[in-house]
Chain A
Amino acid sequence: MSTVDWKNYEPVLIPNIKDIHKIDVYRKNGGYEALKSVLTDKKKWADQKSVIEEVKSANIRGRGGAGFNAGLKWSFMPPADGGPRYLACNGDESEPGTFKDRKIFEYNPHVFIEGALIAAYAMEITSIYVYIRGEYKAYIQMMEKAIQDAYDAGMIGKNIFGSDFSVDFYVHSGAGAYICGEETSMLESLEGKRGYPRVKPPFPAQKGLWGRPTTINNIETLSHVTSVINRGADWFKSIGAENHPGPILYGISGHVNRPGVYELPSGVPVFDLINDVAQGMRNGKKLKAVIPGGSSTPVVRADQLDGVTMDSDSLREVGTMLGTAGMVVMDEDTDMVDMLWRITHFYHHESCGQCTPCREGTGWLEKVMLKIKNGEGEIKDLDLLLDITTQMEGRTICALADAAAWPVRHTITRFRDEFEARCKKSVHAVA
Chain B
Amino acid sequence: MPEVFIDGKRFEYEGEQRLLQFIQDQGMEVPFFCYHPSLSAPANCRQCLVKVGQPVKDRETGEYELDENGERVIRWFPKLQTSCNTMISDGMVVHTQETDDLVKRAQKDTLEFILINHPLDCPICDQAGECPLQIQTYKYGPEGSRFEVKKVHKPKRIQLGPRVILDAERCINCTRCVRFTDEVSKTHQLTITSRGDKNYPITAPDREFDDAYSLNTVDICPVGALTSADFRFKARVWEMNQTPSIDITNAKGTNIDIWTRDNLVLRITPRYNEAVNDHWMPDEGREAYRLFNENRVSRPHQKIDNEQVKSSWNNAFATVAEQLEGVDKKDVLLIGSSHASVEENYILSKLSSLLGYNEPVFTSHTEKGKGDGFLLTDDLAPNANGCRLLGFNEVDNSKLSGLAEKAKVVLLLNDNLVDREVLSEDQLNNTFVVSFSTNHSQTSKTADLVIPITCIAEHAASYVNIDGRIQRSFPAKETKYTNRRLDFEMNEGRLDRYGTNFDNWVTEENKVDCLPFWIVASKLADQLGVDGFDYGNGREIMEEISSTLAPFEGVSYARMDEESGIVLDQEKTTVKS
- Which residues of chain B are near A357, meaning CB under 8 Å? 46, 109-110, 113
B23 within 8 A of A: no
Contacts of B196 in A (CB 8 A): 348-353, 359, 362-363
**Per-residue B-contact encoding for A374-405, CB less than 8 Å = 1, 0 else:** 00000000001001000100111100000000
Q: Output the least CB separation between A349 and chain B (Å).
A: 7
Are A354 and B42 interface neighbours, CB within 8 A?
A: yes
Nearest CB in chain B to that of A361: its residue = B113
Binds B, one of A117-125, A145-153, A305-313, A364-372: A364-372
Given known A-B contacts A368-B149, A395-B79, A395-B106, A355 and B191 have beta carbons under 8 A apart:
no
| Residues of chain A contacted by B172 (CB below 8 angstroms) | 356
Q: A396: which B residues are within 8 A, CB to CB?
A: 46
Per-residue interface assignment for chain B, residues 186 to 205, with 1 indicating a CB less than 8 Å from any chain A CB and 0 otherwise: 00000110111111000000
Q: Report the nearest B residue to A390, measured CB to CB.
A: B109
**Distance between Cα atoms of A349 and B195 in the complex (Å):** 7
Inter-chain contact B47/A199, CB cutoff 8 Å? no
Instruction: Report whether over half of chain B's contact residues are helix, strand or loop; otherwise say mixed.
Output: loop
Question: When A350-B195, A364-B147 are in contact, do A394 and B46 touch as well, CB less than 8 Å?
Answer: no
Contact A364 B116 (CB under 8 A): yes
Tell yes or no: A55 within 8 A of B by CB: no
Question: Which residues of chain A in 315-353 are interfacial with respect to chain B, using CB atoms and an 8 Å cutoff?
Answer: 348-353
- Chain A 100-119 interface mask (CB, 8 Å, partner B; 1/0): 00000000000000000000
**Residues on B with beta carbons closer than 8 Å to the beta carbon of A361:** 113
Give the shortest distance, in Å, between A408 (CB) and chain B (any CB): 15
- Contact of B85 with A by CB under 8 A: yes
A19 within 8 A of B: no
Give B191's nearest chain A residue, CB to CB. Answer: A194
- Residue numbers in B under 8 Å from A391 (CB-CB): 106, 109-110, 112-113
B44, B106, B110, B194: the one within 8 Å of A397 (CB)? B44
For B110, the chain A residues whose CB sits under 8 A away are 356-357, 391, 395
Which residues of A are found within 8 Å of B54, using beta-carbon distances?
A: none
Q: Complex Cα distance A355/B195, Å?
A: 11
A360 to B118, CA, bound (A): 10
Contacts of A348 in B (CB 8 A): 196-197
With a CB–CB cut-off of 8 A, which chain A residues contact B45? 355-356
Quick one: which of B78, B80, B114, B191 contacts A360, CB cutoff 8 A?
B114
Contact with A along B479-523 (1 / 0, CB 8 A): 000000000000000000000000000000000000000000000
A248 at interface by CB-CB < 8 Å: no
| Given A199-B85, A391-B109, A395-B80, CB of A360 within 8 Å of CB of B197 | yes
Q: How far is the CB of B285 from chain A (nearest CB, A)?
A: 32
Near A by CB (< 8 A), chain B positions 162-203 give: 172-173, 191-192, 194-199
Confirm or deny: B117 has a beta carbon within 8 angstroms of a beta carbon on chain A.
yes
- CA of A395 to CA of B79, assembled, Å: 7
B contact residues, total (Cβ < 8 Å): 34
Task: Using A199-B85, A352-B196, A363-B152 as known contacts, say yes or no to A395 and B43 having CB atoms under 8 A apart.
Answer: no
- B109 (CB) vs chain A CBs: closest residue: A391
**How distant is A357 from chain B, measured CB to nearest CB, in Å?**
6
Contacts of A368 in B (CB 8 A): 149
Q: B49 at interface (Cβ–Cβ under 8 A)?
A: yes
Q: Which residues of A contact B149 (CB under 8 A)?
A: 364, 367-368, 370-371
A177 within 8 A of partner (CB): yes
Q: Among the interface residues B78, B110, B197, B199, which one has the most CB atoms of the partner chain A within 10 A?
A: B197
Q: Which of A199, A353, A362, A364 contacts B192 (CB 8 A)?
A: A353
B146 in the interface, Cβ–Cβ < 8 Å? yes
> Are A351's CB and B197's CB within 8 A?
yes
Q: Is B234 an interface residue (CB 8 A)?
A: no
Query: What 1/0 flags go to A27-52 for Cβ under 8 Å of B?
Result: 00000000000000000000000000
B566 to chain A, nearest CB (A): 41
Kindly state the separation between the CA atoms of A353 and B197 in the bound complex, as whole angstroms.
Answer: 6
- Cβ of A384: which chain B residues have Cβ within 8 Å of it? 146
Taken together as a complex, chains A and B put the C-alpha atoms of A352 and B85 apart, in Å, by 20
Known A199-B85, A363-B117, A371-B149; judge A395-B46 contact (CB<8 A): yes
Q: Considering the chains assembled together, what is the distance between the CA atoms of A367 and B46 in angstroms?
A: 22
Q: A348-B197, A362-B197 are in contact. List 15 more A-B contacts (CB 8 A).
A: A348-B196, A351-B195, A353-B199, A355-B45, A355-B46, A356-B44, A356-B113, A357-B109, A357-B110, A359-B173, A363-B152, A363-B197, A367-B150, A391-B110, A396-B46
Q: Can you identify 20 A-B contacts, CB atoms within 8 angstroms?
A: A177-B195, A199-B85, A350-B196, A351-B195, A353-B198, A353-B199, A355-B45, A356-B44, A356-B47, A356-B114, A359-B173, A359-B199, A360-B116, A361-B113, A363-B152, A363-B196, A368-B149, A384-B146, A395-B79, A395-B110
Interface on B for A, CB 8 Å cutoff? 42-47, 49, 78-80, 85, 106, 109-110, 112-114, 116-117, 146-147, 149-150, 152, 172-173, 191-192, 194-199
**List of 9 A-B pairs having minimum Cβ-Cβ separation, nearest first:** A360-B113, A367-B149, A351-B196, A391-B109, A353-B199, A363-B197, A394-B79, A353-B196, A354-B44
